[in-house]
Amino acid sequence: MSSDFEQSWLDNVASWQNTFCEAVKAPQQQAWAKIWLDTIKEEAAGSKQVVYDPQVFSRFVTTATCPGQPPQEIATWIEPLAHGLRHPHALCDMGADIMDRGYLLLTNQADVQALRTAVHPPGTKGCRNRSCQAIYMDMGATRWEAAPTSVGQQWFVRNYQARGLDMDRLLLWEAAPVSPPSNIFAELPKELFHKYQYFNIPAGTDYSDASHPPGDFVSFKLDIDNNKTELAILKELREDPAAAALVDEFFLEFHVNFQPMLRWWAGTEDPNKSLADASNCFMS
């Protein structure tokens, strides 16, 4: 369910893309952005009393139906699809770094447990269709520590950990050769070595290929800066309901023809796609 904030962008993004800085600096947009960022800070600090303003935050509503019990609705809150689909202060000289991820509302352990309990109530055999493991998958993994222009694995793993979700497995793909291979593990904390599988090969797009990622994941980041491959993987994920149903969180930087971001995307954008296309992709 879209918030008022998100809906304002879904309704106007085609025109606002051309007057982007003017649009994001409008008083109502700034007021909503402040609520957005203040709430994320409170949530990240561990507050148990966070209230998500439905005018600002969107939500997924899951209805669980079990034999002999009334239907149960569970709301999972998510950051809005708004502004440039990144930190609301990252563009138009508003002060945030372009790689600032402090606007993302990650799933926490309580959300995951609530959904699993609704599907498998106490006294029933739980997790029949999944392993109950928390698995982080990263295509375009780069390295544990973030390079200046990339997002390292550490941010995701540590921020999930802070929300009560310790990753049981990390499955990572990186096409760019790492030399020497030992550099892959140079910064990796030793307690993660037994959980860590790093494939220094391109991620496959064919399910029949043995190198294709498995489907039993929780968190999936797709950022390999190759539109053709990214869209092929996205298409397969969207067309496979069984795989899509296993994705708790999905991260994708959709490189489109959006002027404020072109200096960072440096020719990797799809010239035929707009910010509106990116929004529509995430909504579908």
Return the percentage of the chain with pLDDT > 90, whole number.
48
User: 17: how many CB neighbours lie within 10 A of its CB?
Assistant: 21
pLDDT of 216 > 90? The answer is: no
Please tell me the distance from the alpha carbon of residue 122 to that of residue 127, in angstroms, as a whole number: 12
pLDDT at 65: 74
pLDDT at 142: 82
Backbone angles phi, psi at 210, to 5 degrees: -65, -20
Q: Which sign does the torsion angle of CA 187, 189, 193, 198 carry? A: negative
pTM score > 0.95 for this model?
no
Instruction: Share the mean pLDDT of the chain.
Output: 85
Q: Which sign does the torsion angle of CA 226, 231, 232, 236 carry? A: positive
What average pLDDT does this structure show over 1-8? 97
pLDDT of 132 > 90? The answer is: no
Q: How far is CA 169 from CA 99, 146, 250, in A?
A: 25, 19, 16
Lowest pLDDT segment from 128-132, 163-167, 212-216:
212-216
DSSP string, 203-253: PP--TTSTTSPPS--SEEEE--S-HHHHHHHHHHHHH-HHHHTT-SEEEE-
Highest mean pLDDT among 79-93, 205-219, 261-275: 79-93
Q: How far is CA 133 from CA 79, 109, 192, in A?
A: 25, 12, 15
Lowest pLDDT segment from 49-58, 163-172, 211-220:
211-220
Of the pLDDT bands very low, low, confident and very high (cuts 50, 70, 90), residue 48 is confident
Of the pLDDT bands very low, low, confident and very high (cuts 50, 70, 90), residue 46 is confident
> Could you identify the residue written with the tokens 């929780």?
218
Token code pair at residue 89: 């202060």
Q: Please, are residues 40 and 29 in contact by the beta-carbon 8 Å criterion?
A: no
pLDDT of 147 > 70? The answer is: no
pLDDT of 116 > 70? The answer is: no
